[in-house]
Amino acid sequence: MFNKRTRIKDLLQSDKVNYQTTVMGWVRTFRNNQFIALNDGSTNNNLQVVVALGSLDETTLKRITTGACIKAVGEIIPSLGKGQKVELTATSVEILGDSDAEKFPLQPKKHSLEFLREIAHLRFRTNTFGAVFRVRHSLAFAIHEFFNKKGFVYLHTPIVTASDAEGAGEMFKVTTLPLDGTAPKNEDGSINFKEDFFGRSTNLTVSGQLEGELAAMAFSDIYTFGPTFRAENSNTTRHLAEFWMIEPEMAFSDLEDNMNLAEEFIKYIIRYAMEHNKEDLEFLTQRLDEEEKQKPQNDRSEMGLLQKLEFVVNNDFERITYTEAIDILKESNHNKKKKFNYLIDKWGVDLQSEHERYLVEKHFKKPVILTNYPKEIKAFYMRQNDDGKTVAAMDILAPGIGEIVGGSQREERYDKLTERMTEMHIPLEELDWYLDTRRFGACPHAGFGLGFERIVQFVTGMGNIRDVIPFPRYPKSASF
Ligand code: ATP
Ligand code: MN
């Protein structure tokens, strides 16, 4: 068997010494023809591999370069060097893969995040991205653990969908028809999608919610966790064209149950990462501290990353209605001094991210759950409140990010739902399958969508969403 090796994380965590072992990994640095800093991705901490002077021939020594992949066999001994308990004295070093030091783009120095984005295929091998993607993994794992423990069924909703009535965002078209103008046409000149692969016009999904609702009407509690696509041309630090979303849907639940679950869920996965990725989060906290030092005093955040996470898991989220939020914003000095790009002058306007950030970062200084939005600015499926003006929606806003969760109690009343769909010009025939849930055994139910990358951003403190997904897709960019 080739892969009989010890993970570097396990070696460094253990106090055991004086035994033979094999390690494999990538060379971060090689000093004095003697000290290899070896990393295998299990932790940011490198194992010091000491090559006994004179034990390796000149050719092998030359091939131990930054980026090269090696296998080292030797004895684990207590380390005399600072910062590590143990090291490996190598009796043999085998080069598994050479790396031309002149050409390897990752030099042992600080690179900018922008540069690393250009070489996203190699950035996994840096400390920052090592930490980010291990934390991302833990959060994904914690999500499944959370719902599994609660008895939710993990539902796989389709990636290719025919419905374009969800209105969650601009969609990417899926077609096998030729793009050179020879696609079959209808009499009126429009494309004849009956001739297309699926016999109709199809898109990439923007949300699995509607399908999720169908399953919740059978399993009671379900969740989805899959890719979603939005062709929105938003070049922000919080939007991707391809992102992952978690969408739980619960039968027998109202808006309050929904908020309680979302808050418990967010705290659970953050706590999980804090327990399982301590070193990575300490590293990311330091990274952020250094980044913050570059900013003017006023723009710096008051808490470090770990301190912020600690605070979030130990405190209740603030819960206020949209109407209360509008009052706070309208009366704020920020609004009076015209510091918002969009001034808040009346009830009914949609909140911009500057308003959301004001509420969480300046006013409440903690995550905020906003509820009961005007129905005009929310989706057709949200449950209408008795006031005739608002719907039972809830958005969760997080410091530094803005919206991380969007959810609602769903309109389970057939008449109310179809009435609203008609008002919003949503063709009932297209969603006939969805309406069946309201025809046959409907019940109060609720759910939400959490943007996975937004929570990864929040937990890792990374400023740009493009740096928390391995290969980001955004306008004019789909490399790798
Ligand atoms: P925003 O106002 O930030 O664009 P939205 O109102 O379009 O969000 P929803 O349709 O409610 O968002 O989607 C649910 C969640 O998915 C959001 O709360 C957010 O966390 C995430 N999300 C939405 N759009 C994107 C995107 N383009 N990239 C990454 N995450 C997204
Ligand atoms: Mn959006």
Task: Domain ranges for the chain, please list them.
Answer: 2-105, 125-156+213-467
Q: Which atom of ligand 1 is nearest to the CA of 240?
A: 28
Strands (E) in 298-340, as ranges, are 318-321
The whole-chain average pLDDT of the chain stands at 95
Q: What fold characterizes domain 125-156+213-467?
A: BirA Bifunctional Protein; domain 2 (3.30.930)
Residue nearest to atom 24 of ligand 1 (CA): 239
Q: Name the residue at shortest CA distance from atom 9 of ligand 1.
A: 406
Q: At what angle do helices 209-219 and 432-439 cross, to 10 degrees?
A: 30
pTM of the model: 0.96
185 CA → ligand 2 middle, Å: 33
Closest ligand relative to 475 C-alpha: 1
Give me ligand 1 centre to Cα 245, in Å: 9
Q: Give domain 2-105's CATH architecture.
A: Beta Barrel (2.40)
The number of the ligand nearest the C-alpha atom of 244 reads: 1
Bridge-partner residues for 94, per DSSP? Answer: 71
Q: Name which residue sits closest to atom 29 of ligand 1, judged by CA.
A: 239
**Nearest bound ligand to the CA of residue 245:** 1
Statement: residue 169 has pLDDT above 90: no
Euclidean distance between CA atoms 233 and 475, whole angstroms: 6
Atom 25 of ligand 1, nearest CA residue: 239
Looking at residue 55, what is its pLDDT? 86
pLDDT at position 166: 62
CA nearest ligand 1 atom 21, residue: 451
Ligand 2 geometric centre to CA of 379 (Å): 12
The tally of CA atoms less than 13 A away on the side-chain side of residue 9 is 12
Of all protein residues, the one whose alpha carbon is nearest to atom 18 of ligand 1 is 405
Tell me the CA–centroid distance for residue 451 and ligand 1, in Å. Answer: 6
Pair of tokens at residue 380 = 């057709």
Average pLDDT over residues 60-78: 96
Both structure tokens of 404:
């991380």
Report the percent of the chain where pLDDT is more than 90. 90
DSSP-derived letter for residue 469 is S
The predicted pLDDT at position 167 comes to: 66
Confidence (pLDDT) at 154: 98
Measured by CA distance, the residue closest to atom 6 of ligand 1 is 406
Task: Indicate the pLDDT class of residue 164, thresholds 50, 70 and 90.
Answer: low
Chain segment 384-436, per-residue pLDDT in tens: 999 999 999 999 999 989 999 999 999 999 999 999 999 999 999 989 999 99
459 C-alpha to ligand 2 centroid (Å): 21
Q: Which residues line ligand 1 (CB under 6 A)?
A: 168-169, 230, 232, 238-240, 243, 245, 403-406, 449, 451, 453-454
Check residue 360 and give its pLDDT.
94
Q: What is the dihedral of CA 32, 33, 39, 40, to 10 degrees?
A: -170
The residue among 311, 303, 239 whose CA lies nearest residue 270 is 311
Q: Shortest CA distance to 124 belongs to which of 47, 24, 44?
A: 44
Write out pLDDT tens, residues 280-339: 999 999 999 999 999 888 888 889 999 999 999 999 999 999 999 999 999 999 989 999
Give the pLDDT confidence score for residue 1 in this predicted structure.
81
Rounded to the nearest whole angstrom, what is the distance from the C-alpha of residue 157 to the centroid of ligand 2? 20
**129 CA to middle of ligand 2, Å?**
26
Q: Atom 16 of ligand 1 has which residue's CA nearest to it?
A: 451
Ligand 1 binding pocket mutation candidate from 229, 454, 467 (most atoms within 8 A of CB) = 454
Q: What is the DSSP letter of 479?
A: -
pLDDT tens digits along 233-254: 888 999 999 999 999 999 999 9
Q: What is the dihedral of CA 111, 114, 120, 123, to 10 degrees?
A: 20
Residue 82 confidence (pLDDT) = 79
- Asked if 12 contacts 45 with a C-beta cutoff of 8 angstroms, the reply is yes
Which ligand 1 atom is nearest residue 448's CA?
14
- Ligand 1: residue of 171, 205, 223, 403 to mutate (most ligand atoms within 8 A of CB) is 403
| CA 367 – ligand 2 centroid, Å | 19
pLDDT in tens, 90-141: 999 999 999 998 999 998 888 999 999 999 999 999 999 999 999 999 999 9
Give the ligand with the smallest distance to the CA of 207.
Answer: 1
Tell me the ligand closest to 377's alpha carbon.
Answer: 1
**Ligand 1 probe mutation, 170, 205, 235, 243, most atoms within 8 A of CB:** 243
246: tokens are 């978690």
Nearest ligand by distance to the CA of 231: 1
Query: 322 with 390: CB under 8 angstroms?
Result: yes
Q: Give me ligand 2 centre to Cα 144, in Å.
A: 25
Q: Can you give the pLDDT at residue 168?
A: 64
231 Cα to the center of ligand 1, angstroms: 12
